[in-house]
Structure 1
Amino acid sequence: MRVLGQKLRSRAKELGLSNAEVARRAGLSERRYGFYVTGDREPDLSTLLRVCKVLATTPNILLGVSDDGKEGSIRAALVERLRMASRALSDNDLQSLVVQAEALVTHRGRVK
């Protein structure tokens, strides 16, 4: 999977992370993660999801299923990141986030 390796390198570079740091944060050995970066091996689904979490992206983008260079897919990736982050929030925190998002939408509507 050369596409996966290229996407892993590219995304880590965007975030200023080394392969070693991505591996550590994903709970992988540097060697194992290196196999994914070089395209010598493919991660299983649970490993891919852990790497996606570290790189704040989606499996579709890393696997080249969606083109992350287009406006729509960037938006989709951001929405997915927000959705993933919301899972870790308490109900009260999530409610606060929704109120903040709605306030931003209302403010932007008035600015135009």
Structure 2
Amino acid sequence: MTNQLIPERLKSARESLGISMAEAARRLNLSKIGYCRYEYGDRTPSPQTVEVIARVLGTSVAYLTGESEDMKPDFIMISKKEAPELFELIETLSTYNSATQKRLLAYAQRLNSKPQK
């Protein structure tokens, strides 16, 4: 993995969140100018910074570096403090065997596809 950020992918990830360059910079704890330099390709972030950018913008390093077309993140971090029910659900699901996990996933997908009232 090269971790060489593709500026167009950075812009696409930011735009998919519907946020401005200034907001992206704020979320990344960067100056607006510093962020803009990454998005315009004037500066190349370190591999560690690319990982942080991916996490903050909710995408994957592979997407930002052109190794994948899939914008979905490689992993999701769930805080027990911020989402205790979700944390407990994931913790419980991880104890089930693969077949049960697949059935539960199919059930959740069916629930998600039904219109909510």
TM-score (norm 1): 0.68
Asked if the contact 1:25/1:54 (under 8 Å) is kept, the reply is yes
- For residue 84 of structure 1, what is the amino acid of its counterpart? I
Q: Could you say what secondary structure the match of 2:76 adopts? A: helix
Query: How far off is 1:96 after superposition?
Result: 1.9
Structure 1 CA distance, aligned partners of 2:109 and 2:17?
Answer: 31
Give 1:98 deviation, angstroms: 4.5
When residues 42 and 97 of structure 1 are mapped into structure 2, their CA distance, relative to the original with a 3 A threshold, is same
Deviation at 1:89, TM superposition (A): 3.5
Distance (whole Å) between structure 2 residues aligned to residue 109 and residue 85 of structure 1: 20
Residue 45 (structure 1) aligned to one of 23, 43, 47:
47
Residue 99 and residue 106 in structure 1: after superposition, are their counterparts in 2 closer, same or farther (change >3 A)?
A: farther
Q: Mark the runs of 5 or more structure 2 residues left unpaired by the alignment.
A: 95-100, 112-117
Provide structure 1 residue ranges, at least 5 long, that are not aligned to the other structure: 69-73
Return the alpha-carbon distance in structure 2 between the equivalents of residues 19 and 51 of structure 1.
13
Return the letter of the residue paired with 2:61: P
Question: Bigger radius of gyration, 1 or 2?
Answer: 2
Note the C-alpha offset of 1:13. 1.1
Residue 66 of structure 1: aligned partner: 68
Tell me how far 1:11 sits from its aligned partner.
Answer: 1.3
How far the C-alpha of 1:49 sits from its partner, in A, is 1.8
Match of 2:31 in 1: 29
Aligned residues: 99
Q: Please list, as runs of the form range in 1=range in 2, the aligned pairs for 1:70-85 lying within 5 A after superposition.
A: 77-78=72-73, 80=74, 83-85=75-77
Q: Percent identity?
A: 29
In 1, the alpha carbon distance for the partners of 2:16 and 2:31 equals 21
Q: Per residue, is there more helix in 1 or in 2?
A: 1
Q: Are the structure 2 counterparts of residues 40 and 99 from structure 1 closer, same or farther at C-alpha, using a change threshold of 3 Å?
A: same
2:24 & 2:109 partners in 1: Cα distance?
39
> How does the TM-score come out when normalised to structure 2?
0.65
Query: What's the counterpart of residue 105 of structure 2?
Result: 105
Aligned with 1:85: secondary structure? coil
